[in-house]
Structure 1
Amino acid sequence: MAGSQSFFELFLLFSIFDLNLGKYAEVILGDPFTFPQDECKTESRLVKTLGQDITRSVAVGRNSTWTPDDYYRDRVNQDSSVTFSRTVFTDTGTYELTCDDDDKFTVIQLKIVPLYEPWVKEGEEVKLMCNYDCPGKDVKSVKWTKDGKLVLEHNFTSDENKYGTRSKEGKVSVSPNGFKEGDLSLTMRGAQEEDAGDYICSVHTGEGQNGKDESVTAVRVTVINRSVDHTTDSTEQPLNPDAPKEKQMETWLVVLITAALMLLVLAPVFTLFGWWLKSRRSSVSSLPGYQDVP
């Protein structure tokens, strides 16, 4: 799916935001990610914050070359930049980029967004999973987009839905108990081929200038066309017109082989039975007073 891949690349490109306290980036789980960097005259360091006054070294830069720490060596190469060749879920967190020769200090917030890839047969219903702690994070609304375009936005405060140009009421919906249960999944009914694509579930938290959007889940939907699904097509004709004749010949061949095997098994039995009758007749004929009946 070249189109889907290019969309996610654009999603990654436009998901790096400059904030007052540093940079914020959202990356699809498994995709590569390159950290933004500042030019340092001497030595630079990139660390991940694990807790209060606890950090883990990611890489050290000297002479325009970054050397990864052993912990990240399987996913970060020695290069002119720090790049995760593939992101894992535990990469989510806060990173700090510092320069030893001056007071340059950059904070990078990295969010890893999980990707799900469900498939559905044309005309059937599919549920695009998305879960979030709504009460705990003061979520105001949930928004589903497809390839960057609105599908459905639900406002929890007003309990109103806003539909995209290609979606309508009854086609898509979210759970009425979504806020309470943290279930923001999108239910899509009567799936069609044009419904295939990449969907993003995002939430809006806070109000006014304090509000922000956060992507929670990415879902790549595949719709199977029933016209090419022959698993339940009772009218499908055999591709080989001679198939019935070949099947009949195979049946007769099985019958002949079975008969031959039965003959080989029963022949010794009948031979022994004949010998037993002959010997018994000889024994009876030798008894006194025995006389054959003409």
Structure 2
Amino acid sequence: MDDDDWLAQRFEAHRPHLRAVAFRILGSLSDAEDAVQEAWLRLSRSDTSEVENLGGWLTTVVARVSLNLLQTRRSRREDPQGARVPDELAGWAGTAQPEDEALLSDSVGPALLVILDSLEPAERLAFVLHDLFAVPFDEIAPIVGRSPAAARQLASRARRRVRGAEPPRDADRRRQREVVAAFLTASRNGQFDALLALLDPRITLRADDATVRMGASSEVLGARAVAETFSGRARGARLALIDGAPGALWAVDGRPRVAFRFTVAAGKILAITMTSDPATLSTLDMEVLTDEILTDPAG
């Protein structure tokens, strides 16, 4: 076996771990694969003869690549220009992908993924590396360009935010339902300021591939951009329970077309996911609620 084959074998042994790290940082399976591939390219071009812990070296490379991708994604998509939901949905008259959820199932679920999406890139990386993969802050610090103490603070802020989105009690669920109902009412009535008041400043709106093909933006970041996306829309949205949590549903002739899943904590919407892939919709437990709460959101 030559050196290249030996190195490739060692890399393949670490691939599942690297893929898991990248996915939990990036929240995108395709981006995670790109980050892992970039790590391989860097490994193949580097002299690692003095590297004692190849797994740690590769994890650091994947983390750096993932952080760069997160920062690029955020800077590219914060601009609200072009942020939209499909025209088909705008005049309603009437998503984590399955493979992503499978990848998450061993240590982080879809609910946590949407919370992670609301974090700043450095916060997300510090939290994922330390809390999910037990990477010491001394090793995280140079990746995020901070001191170990500052890296610890990043992870601590992220941890508080994640804990704030733990599964709610019945009273919390009622409050979440009121927030979603108020959002739908403000959206369809074009009440921009009311929408802003309901959204966390770092909210993330995500759409699955099927919804993107309908004309939606794949991701919209920030309260103002999300409010502009929904203001004056959602005219036919129905308040619904999606897997037991307050959400919204658009159906045509009784057939669900788009499910809207909301992540709400402390009275603010942290994330919205639009799902229209038929295979995914078929796995969701969906129940349309009455319209009473839409006319009296605080009642």
TM-score grouping bracket, smaller chain normalisation: under 0.3
What TM-score does the superposition give when structure 1 sets the normalisation length? Answer: 0.25
What TM-score does the superposition give when structure 2 sets the normalisation length? Answer: 0.24
Q: Comparing both structures, which one devotes a greater share of its residues to helix?
A: 2
Tell me which structure has the larger Cα radius of gyration. Answer: 1
Q: Comparing both structures, which one devotes a greater share of its residues to strand?
A: 1
